[in-house]
């Protein structure tokens, strides 16, 4: 029970906890060690020696802050192993841009056609079908946490299909984001429709929204126009799905193509900016970011994909392999006013500069 009660409207207990955290951070709420007795939540009060105080069934303990699974030598690629909803409250950092490819919850025993074979579409326990209410609660929870991690002029991109994108849009609006565009990604090489009972699925949607409706966001309009033969770029992007050349270290079942992530990052960030991905997967977001001189932090809960991400990042330490990737990415191979280093950034590392997860 609480010795002092604080009322807060929320759609779930997790969101209520996040709102209390936010009010505490903004000094609108004062808590002390007597506020919690038997609540199984993280206490917001005492931080000491890089540790968070935790109350668990009335007992105090100390838990380490989030620790990166992998950090590149140049500290421009950080990956943490864990559940993003549990991990995000454990570090304080503001990002310039977020890309998120959350679960679509489509793993229900269906089939598809890939590389000439009929295959099961089940991707893992993390993608098992759940109820619409559970999907909405989940989206509200992680989007609320992400909003707290954005700079005031920051933007977020969220990919999805009709199965989850409407829930995402409603949650974004409810949480105070301003939706800027809904990009339709038209795949130039979609899998065939084996049932022949409806139109072939060839698109996915990516919502672009900014954190604060009243604060201007970054948009590299001129660059996007140059990349589109000096015509305004529309919200329909014709880009290929993932190619074999992107699977050198294996394949994540929902891996997005580098061409897609590169365009997203080029459109809404500057060199040196920090990009965050809470559902990192095989870290395509991070590879794209590093190829164009942005910095990256991600969270991934599956160990096998953390290993794959590390291997992919170390692979681009090779100047030859970076050149190979660049020559396959639609917006980079022509190098139209895009800063593309031929090798890993070797600038002097400032170890006193704050980075995510510290």
Q: Quote the CA–CA distance of 86 and 17 in Å, as a whole number.
A: 12
DSSP 178-190: EEEEEEEEEESSP
Task: Please enumerate in sequence order all residues whose Cβ is within 8 A of that of 195, keeping only pairs 6 or more positions apart, or say none.
Answer: none
Low-confidence residues of the chain, pLDDT below 50? 1-4, 6, 26-28, 30, 32-63, 111, 113, 118, 120, 122, 126, 346-348
* Residue 338 within any structural domain of the chain: no
* Residue 348 within any structural domain of the chain: no
Residues 208 and 261 occupy one common structural domain: yes
Q: Which domain holds residue 4?
A: 1-64
State the pLDDT at residue 35. Answer: 43
Domains in the chain, number: 2
Residues 185 and 206 occupy one common structural domain: yes
State the pLDDT at residue 337. Answer: 58
Tokens standing for 61?
């303990």
Q: pTM of the prediction?
A: 0.77
Residues 21 and 97 occupy one common structural domain: no
Per the CB < 8 A criterion, the answer to whether 157 and 208 are in contact is yes
Per the CB < 8 A criterion, the answer to whether 136 and 174 are in contact is no
State the pLDDT at residue 131. Answer: 87
């Amino acid at each position: 029970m609480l010795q002092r009660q604080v009322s807060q409207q929320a759609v779930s207990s997790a969101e209520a906890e996040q709102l209390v955290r936010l009010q505490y951070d903004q000094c609108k709420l004062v808590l002390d060690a007597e506020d919690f007795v038997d609540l199984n939540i993280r206490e917001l009060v005492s931080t000491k020696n890089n540790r968070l105080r935790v109350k668990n069934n009335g007992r105090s303990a100390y838990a380490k802050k989030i620790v990166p699974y992998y950090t590149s030598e140049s500290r421009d690629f950080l990956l943490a192993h864990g559940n993003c909803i549990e991990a995000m409250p454990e570090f304080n950092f503001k990002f310039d841009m977020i890309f998120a490819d959350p679960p679509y919850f489509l793993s229900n025993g269906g089939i598809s056609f890939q590389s000439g074979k009929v295959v099961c579409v089940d991707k893992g326990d993390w993608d098992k079908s759940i109820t619409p209410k559970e999907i909405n609660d989940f989206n509200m929870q992680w989007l609320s946490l992400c909003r707290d991690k954005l700079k005031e002029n920051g933007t977020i991109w969220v990919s999805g299909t009709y199965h989850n994108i409407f829930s995402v849009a409603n949650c974004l609006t409810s949480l105070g984001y301003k939706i800027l565009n809904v990009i339709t990604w038209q795949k130039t090489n979609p899998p065939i429709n084996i049932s022949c009972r409806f139109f072939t699925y060839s698109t996915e949607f990516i919502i672009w929204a900014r954190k604060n409706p009243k604060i201007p966001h970054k948009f590299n309009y001129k660059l996007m126009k140059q990349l589109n033969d000096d015509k305004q770029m529309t919200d329909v992007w014709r880009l290929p799905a993932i190619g074999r050349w992107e699977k050198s270290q294996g394949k994540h079942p929902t891996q997005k193509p580098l061409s897609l992530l590169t365009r997203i990052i080029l459109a809404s960030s500057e060199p040196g900016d920090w990009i965050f991905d809470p559902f990192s997967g095989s870290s395509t977001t991070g590879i794209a970011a590093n190829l164009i001189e942005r910095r990256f932090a991600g969270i991934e809960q599956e160990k096998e994909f953390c290993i794959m991400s590390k291997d992919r990042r170390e692979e681009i330490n090779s100047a030859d392999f970076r050149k190979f990737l660049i020559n396959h990415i639609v917006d980079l191979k022509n190098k139209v006013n895009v800063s593309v280093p031929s090798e890993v950034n070797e600038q002097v590392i400032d170890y006193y500069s704050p980075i995510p997860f510290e």
